[in-house]
Amino acid sequence: MFKIPLFSGKSLGFERDMVTFSVKYGNFPNLFCKGIVDTGCPFTIISESSIKRTRIPYNSKPSKYNVQLGNINMELRELGICELNFRDEKGDIKKFEQEVYVGIPLVKGYLAQELPSFIGKDFLNNHSLSIINKKEEDNYLMGED
């Protein structure tokens, strides 16, 4: 068994369980992100504001879905299978292969805050991970080695 620690962070106006991770895409350097762990989100999504800091050619990728996040429409571009890396509570790196999308907000003008990345239900299901919430301890993702 391993545990990947979660932390509480404010995003989209609420306290949420979040996790830090890195994304390995092709030969590009790892992209470090923080994302909301969201069982209500069917996809694993990297925010456009995070991926803009790289040279990953996400704009040339096919548009796969249009989804709604609150009142913001978002286009999901297919990045393909990427390696997601997390640190467990012992400091070891846990690597997972996962289909990843880039979330591009479809809004005119200025967004008051950048949209977050999401670790979605697809990731949790594909890798048999559970969110464990403890009153007296920190929350974490639990999985089997």
Using H for helix, E for strand and C for coil, what is the string for the chain?
CEEEECEEEEECCEEEEEEEEEEECCCCCCEEEEEEEECCCCCCEEEHHHHCCCCCCHHHCCEEEEEEECCEEEEEEEEEEEEEEEECCCCCEEEEEEEEEEEEECCCCCCCCCCCEEEEHHHHHHCCCEEECCCCCCCEEEECC
Q: pLDDT tens digits, residue range 53-105?
A: 899 999 999 998 998 877 778 899 999 999 999 999 999 999 999 999 999 98
Lowest mean pLDDT among 2-16, 19-33, 84-98, 106-120: 106-120
Domain boundaries, the chain: 2-143
Instruction: Supply the pTM of this predicted model.
Output: 0.90
CATH topology for 2-143 is Cathepsin D, subunit A; domain 1 (2.40.70)
Tell me: the pLDDT tens digits for 121-137? 999 999 999 999 887 77
